[in-house]
Amino acid sequence: MTRAGPRRGTAAAASAAGDGTTVVEHLDPRAPVVELLGVVATAAEAYDRADLAERASVTRAHLDHTEIRVVVAGEFKRGKSTLVNALLGAEVCPVDDDIATAVPILVRHAAEPGAVVVTGGDESADPPELVEHRVEVAALADWVSEAGNPGNRRGVHWADVGIPRKLLADGLVLVDTPGVGGLDSAHGSLTLSALAGADAVLLVTDTSQELTAAEVDFLRSAVELCPTVTVVSTKTDLYPAWRTIVASDKAVLDREGFAVEVLAVSSALRSLAAATVDRSLNDESGFPTLHAHLTGEILAGAGARAAAMAADTATEIIRRLREPFAAELEVLDDPEAAERRRVRLEEASAAAAELQERGARWQVLLNDGCADLNAEVDHDLRERFRRLGRELEERIDEIEPAKAWDEISAWLTRQAASEVAANHGVLLERTAQLADDLVEQFRVGGIEPRLPTVELADPFDALGEVSVDAPEVATDDGGVARRAGASILTGAKGSYGYVMMITMGAGMIGLSVAAPIMAGAALGLGRKAVKDEHKRKLTQERQQAKAAGRRYLDDVSFAAGKSSRDALRSVQRFLRDELGVLAGEVAAQVQAEVAAAKAAGGGDIEQRRADVAAELARLDHLASKLDAARPRAHP
Ligand SMILES: Nc1nc2c(ncn2[C@@H]2O[C@H](COP(=O)(O)OP(=O)(O)OP(=O)(O)O)[C@@H](O)[C@H]2O)c(=O)[nH]1
Ligand SMILES: [Mg+2]
């Protein structure tokens, strides 16, 4: 599939989108920074700093292809898939009264329509293997919907669809997610962890009723995790009282203090408007406002954040280019400084050379740090599951499993999912800490080394999946109780549209149900005997329930443990590569300063002073242009 090509430098202008809608294009905040990064790369090249030129080019390419991921989440059957289709004016995501979206569908720009379905491959492979299947968009339902792929027998993790659409051309990726059977379910917690990697979330609800408590809870977490959160209340065509519903939703959000807009739409009206090219119907559908919100707040906001980060990197590159000239000027102005500088550079050269050696101290620290991290994350996971196991047993002791098992098992899967997500959070946090500590080692000769944080998340690409099926438990009638698993998208903050999947046997864990107690009475047992029998059955049920729950927790923690070990291995590889590059950059920096020191030694001092001052002025000018291009007030 073709990815979005380099972005056009869009100007603020109104244009017809070809579907009867007027689209206001916003000035893309990335465009000027992309352009200036090109200038910075050329400048670095001219100053013989191939390392910095490379850094500038990579940052530029990165910014030019930023993906802005918008997760469309919500409870079961609210109209998420229909909304995505109506936004794009295409039947991309399968929709039906009965068939549900079973796996996440990512929709991005491509020159030609096409889809790739990703399934798991060889399970024993390390890192986990993923297999891509190229399919027609029209055939997607066979893979991604409950009807076409019941219980996700085909083991699909997600589908990636490309279509040529103006709305997507600037890197917008819409993610249609499976309906959550209650946002407070295990699905819900996992969809929530997907938000950590998203630029925005649209919570789709419908105007049949006010926001539910589960939806409000979901929003509470979403606003913590995601820069832009919007409620889209759909099906206004079906519910005449939609205005009242929207007003009370707004009141609830205000009361909670959430900065969340509520947009009312009707996908049905939008489709009708497109088919009949009826502008007033289109306005009535609410889609022009939603469209403007997507291109404005969401696209422009995320673009601004990415541009600001890239501009910071460019500023740092200029600072490094400037350094040797500034030092040379100092020597020209004060020859006594030359000796001090010579000593400093000698020390710095030795330290820089050490950084590049095999078995350098930072490499030892990296290996040790990763081993510690592994142990710590593993311990954290074990502790979490031990606590959860204890709590499970306490709960089971208070219930009659035959009656309350569904409730307990739903609680358990939800807790397990959030413990896995929390453990993943620990991994991310500690990794960032380790990276910070390691970078300290590169502080040589006044150089302030930095690892680009945006790229730090990429190794989690290999994080793979946590794949757990609900344990099978034989039922009394000899059958097997197990509910189908579901795939949920989750992710760390990634920059290349990173996707991590957690597939979990969500829903119910099967439990064999003991024969009804009343059977005892039918057998003519006395009251006491029935009571004893009841007690015995209850104890037996509780034991079975505990065993089923523990098996489930073991499976989840085993899969999660493997997934985090895989992640750590790729983190280690990533850090080793990046720090290797950084060692090269530090050495090049020191070398540039040594060369500058030599240049300061001979020739026409006045002329040299004028030349150096001119170079500095050129770099300062570039820095001030970058400063002006760096978006400031972004949400
Ligand atoms: N009248 C009307 N019906 C709608 C609208 N949006 C969705 N529907 C209907 O609602 C039903 C569910 O729509 P979907 O888009 O499949 O909902 P979903 O949230 O993706 O469902 P899951 O993926 O199963 O969670 C379908 O029958 C749609 O035709 C709307 O704006 N108006
Ligand atoms: Mg759907």
Q: Of all protein residues, whose CA lies closest to atom 9 belonging to ligand 1?
A: 79
Evaluate if residue 369 carries a pLDDT over 60: yes
Pocket test of ligand 1: the residue of 71, 83, 95, 207 to mutate, having most ligand atoms within 8 Å of its CB, is 95
Q: What angle do the packed helices 186-195 and 401-440 form, to 10 degrees?
A: 20
Report how far residue 424's alpha carbon sits from residue 567's, in angstroms, rounded to the nearest whole number: 10
Q: Does residue 342 fall inside a structural domain?
A: no
Regarding whether 380 and 237 lie in a shared domain, the answer is no
> Would you state the structure tokens that stand for residue 524, as one six-digit string?
């003519």
234 CA closest ligand 1 atom index:
31
Regarding whether 367 and 266 lie in a shared domain, the answer is no
The string of pLDDT tens digits covering residues 231-242 is: 999 999 999 999
In this structure, of 226-230, 392-396, 598-602, the range with the lowest mean pLDDT score is: 598-602
Report how far residue 361's alpha carbon sits from residue 57's, in angstroms, rounded to the nearest whole number: 29
Regarding whether 532 and 385 lie in a shared domain, the answer is yes
Q: Give the model's pLDDT for residue 596.
A: 78
Render 162-192 in DSSP notation, one character per residue. Answer: EE--GGGTTSEEEEE-PPBSSTTSHHHHHHH
Backbone angles phi and psi of 375, in degrees to 5:
-65, -40
Tell which of 271, 288, 305 closes a domain: 288
Q: Does residue 607 fall inside a structural domain?
A: no
Residues with CB under 5 Å of ion ligand 2 are: 80-81, 101
Q: Does residue 324 fall inside a structural domain?
A: no
Report how far residue 473's alpha carbon sits from residue 549's, in angstroms, rounded to the nearest whole number: 11
Tell which of 288, 304, 323 closes a domain: 288
Q: Dihedral of the CA atoms 128, 134, 138, 142 (nearest 10)? A: -40
Q: Of all protein residues, whose CA lies closest to atom 24 belonging to ligand 1?
A: 100
Report how far residue 265's alpha carbon sits from residue 496's, in angstroms, rounded to the nearest whole number: 31
Average pLDDT on 614-623 reads 95
Q: Give the model's pLDDT for residue 559.
A: 74
Evaluate if residue 485 carries a pLDDT over 60: no
Amino acid at site 411? W
Pocket test of ligand 1: the residue of 72, 76, 77, 242 to mutate, having most ligand atoms within 8 Å of its CB, is 77
Average pLDDT on 339-366 reads 86
Pocket of ligand 1 (CB under 6 A): 74, 76-82, 95, 97, 100-101, 178-179, 234-235, 237-238, 266-268
Q: Does residue 8 fall inside a structural domain?
A: no
* Residue 3 DSSP class: P
> Would you state the structure tokens that stand for residue 360, as one six-digit string?
């350098």
Pocket test of ligand 1: the residue of 78, 82, 233 to mutate, having most ligand atoms within 8 Å of its CB, is 82
Report how far residue 313's alpha carbon sits from residue 55's, in angstroms, rounded to the nearest whole number: 9
Give the count of domains, the chain.
2
Q: Does residue 471 fall inside a structural domain?
A: yes
Which ligand minimizes its atom distance to the CA of 85? 1
Q: Does residue 113 fall inside a structural domain?
A: yes
From ligand 2's centre to the CA of 105, what distance in Å?
Answer: 9
Taking each continuous run of H as one helix and of E as one strand, the counts in the chain are: 18, 16
Radius of gyration of the chain, Cα coordinates, nearest whole angstrom: 29
Cβ atoms of 412 and 392 within 8 Å: the answer is yes
Q: Does residue 556 fall inside a structural domain?
A: yes
More confident of the two residues 39 and 195: 39
Q: Of all protein residues, whose CA lies closest to atom 6 belonging to ligand 1?
A: 79
H or E segment and range at residue 341: helix 335-356
From ligand 2's centre to the CA of 485, what distance in Å?
Answer: 16
Q: 196: domain CATH number? A: 3.40.50.300
Regarding whether 421 and 553 lie in a shared domain, the answer is yes
100 CA closest ligand 1 atom index:
24
**Please, what's the b/e burial string for 391-414 (b: 16 or more CB within 10 A of its CB; e: otherwise)?**
ebeebbeebbbbeebeebbbbbbb
CB-based contacts of 153, cutoff 8 Å, min separation 6? none
Domain that holds residue 109: 66-288
Average pLDDT value over all residues in the chain: 77
The string of pLDDT tens digits covering residues 144-154 is: 887 788 777 88
Regarding whether 549 and 430 lie in a shared domain, the answer is yes
Average pLDDT on 433-460 reads 65
Q: Give the model's pLDDT for residue 391.
A: 95
The number of residues making up the chain comes to 635
270 CA closest ligand 1 atom index:
31
Render 58-98 in DSSP notation, one character per residue. Answer: HHHHHHHT--EEEEEE-BTTSSHHHHHHHHHTS--S---SS
Three-state DSSP at 201 gives: strand
Report how far residue 361's alpha carbon sits from residue 583's, in angstroms, rounded to the nearest whole number: 12
Average pLDDT on 177-196 reads 54
Amino acid at site 518? M
Evaluate if residue 6 carries a pLDDT over 50: no
This prediction has a pTM of 0.68
Regarding whether 362 and 250 lie in a shared domain, the answer is no
Regarding whether 78 and 194 lie in a shared domain, the answer is yes
Regarding whether 522 and 387 lie in a shared domain, the answer is yes
Which ligand minimizes its atom distance to the CA of 182? 1
Regarding whether 244 and 122 lie in a shared domain, the answer is yes
Q: Of all protein residues, whose CA lies closest to atom 7 belonging to ligand 1?
A: 79
The string of pLDDT tens digits covering residues 405-446 is: 777 877 787 677 677 767 777 877 788 788 888 888 888 776
Q: Give the model's pLDDT for residue 530.
A: 67
Report how far residue 211's alpha carbon sits from residue 502's, in angstroms, rounded to the nearest whole number: 27
Q: Of all protein residues, whose CA lies closest to atom 8 belonging to ligand 1?
A: 79
Report how far residue 125's alpha carbon sits from residue 468's, in angstroms, rounded to the nearest whole number: 17
From ligand 1's centre to the CA of 44, what distance in Å?
Answer: 54
Q: What pairing do the DSSP bridges indicate for beta strands 486-490 and 500-504?
A: antiparallel
Regarding whether 273 and 385 lie in a shared domain, the answer is no
H or E segment and range at residue 130: strand 130-135
> Would you state the structure tokens that stand for residue 255, as one six-digit string?
């009361």
Regarding whether 368 and 275 lie in a shared domain, the answer is no
Q: Does residue 615 fall inside a structural domain?
A: no
Tell which of 556, 573, 592 closes a domain: 592
Average pLDDT on 235-257 reads 95
The string of pLDDT tens digits covering residues 503-527 is: 333 333 444 443 333 343 444 445 6
The string of pLDDT tens digits covering residues 36-74 is: 999 999 999 999 999 889 989 988 988 888 888 898 988
Q: Of all protein residues, whose CA lies closest to atom 14 belonging to ligand 1?
A: 79
Cβ atoms of 432 and 439 within 8 Å: the answer is no
